Homo-oligomer: A and B are copies of this chain.
Amino acid sequence: MSKVEHAKGQHDQYRESVAGRADVEDTPELVSYYEELDRLKAGALWTVANKIEPWQPKSESEAVLWRYRDLREHVLRSIDLVTPEKAGRRVIYLNNPGRRDVAAAVGWLYSGLQVMHPGEAASAHAHSASALRFIMEGQGAYTIVDGHKMTLGANDFVLTPNGTWHEHGVGAEGTTCIWQDGLDIPLVNAMEAGFYVVHPDLRQAVTHPVNDSTAKWGGAALRPQMGDWNKNYSPLFKYEWAPTYEALVNYARVTDGSPFDGVLMHYTNPITGGHVMPTIGASMQLLRPGEHTKAHRHTGSFMYQVCKGSGYSVIGGKRFDWTERDIFCVPSWAFHEHVNLSSSEDACLFCFNDLPVMESLGFYREEALAENGGYQPVLA
């Protein structure tokens, strides 16, 4: 909302002289009337109508790119500064300048970088928030979700869905690991629906064969017979990098791709074919050598991590150069386009977003940039 300061008692700062819009000038009688309404915990709609019913969305979030080379040293330094026991989790979170009050990276999405030493483990807990991890570096990381233990490597994508017991660690034989966390914590808080429980034993037992979720649910277009499932999230918890990248490369051979996104695949819940969790979706996209997508904008908030290659994106008319492991966001209704600067190598962008929310609430809308051949002029 507008941060502009107004004279005390001013009520007509949102006037618009457009038919069908509120255009009421303050008068002493009206101001007095407004003050009476205020005492009744009420107000006159026409003083705020144009503010609360804008012509189109204007995001509170800024487009931001977080360079990994900047963040990494601080993330590593946290190892010396705090213990996992004291910190709960040793995480540096991304704090969008427009969303500091809710600790969001963009819109209602939280994101942070978490680091763990070999032999460390965070305590087990469960919460209403839906969570994911995307592995950035290191070996030996694992996650346990409701008794299912998964081993993790770079670019693997892992779910720790709403309501599940989950914990993370790095095996004693591993190396220091860093991953990106993504959660809907700000949304859960906004909807006043957040519950949090620490596991009574601080650790959960591993009750299934390691990586059983992938072995059971990771077949292509195959459903295990013994696979009853009635949760609102995917039973497949880990999406490994190798088959994902292979699928993208295969798909790239037979598609022109989207003019706006190149070759993009959504991670899905194999039970339904839909999004992996009810509030967070995710995708991996491949930009071919030299590809420069056209600009479009849509509602919803999107967090990107560069998994492969280097290039730049133009977001809201501003250029953001990126290379592997950099993270950036695209706020709602901001025009954006992506460029792979390599002439020989593809580039890959991991993304998580609130598309499931936008879709189930009927809020999704999309628009191509009509002017300038579909490319944004880049601001100086």
Contact = CB atoms under 8 A, between A and B. Distances in A.
A41 B192 contact: no
A247 B218 CA distance: 8
A36 B92 CA distance: 12
B88 A46 contact: yes
A307 interface: no
Contacts of A191: 107-108, 299, 332, 354, 357-358, 361, 363
A33 B362 contact: no
A319 to B, nearest CB: 18
A343 interface: no
Interface string A174-202: 00000000000111111111111111001
Interface in A55-100: 55-60, 64, 66, 70-71, 74, 77-78, 81-82, 85-97
A210 to B, nearest CB: 9
Contact of A193 (B96, B187, B266, B363): B363
A372 interface: no
A219 B220 contact: yes
Nearest to A199: B20
A90 B225 CA distance: 35
Interface residues of A, number: 148
Interface in A270-301: 270-273, 278-279, 283-285, 299-301
B365 A357 contact: no
A208 to B, nearest CB: 7
Nearest to A283: B225
A10 B56 CA distance: 38
A362 B232 contact: yes
Nearest to A38: B95
A103 B251 contact: no
23 contacts: A19-B85, A33-B77, A40-B66, A45-B87, A46-B82, A46-B91, A48-B93, A48-B103, A53-B196, A55-B196, A56-B195, A58-B192, A128-B363, A191-B363, A211-B254, A223-B268, A224-B264, A225-B265, A225-B266, A225-B285, A268-B270, A272-B273, A278-B361
Given A20-B123, A219-B250, 17 more contacts: A20-B202, A41-B95, A43-B92, A43-B103, A44-B82, A108-B190, A188-B363, A191-B358, A215-B250, A216-B251, A216-B254, A219-B220, A221-B239, A223-B268, A225-B283, A232-B362, A279-B362
The 6 tightest CB contacts between A and B, nearest first, are: A219-B247, A20-B198, A192-B332, A193-B363, A45-B91, A212-B254
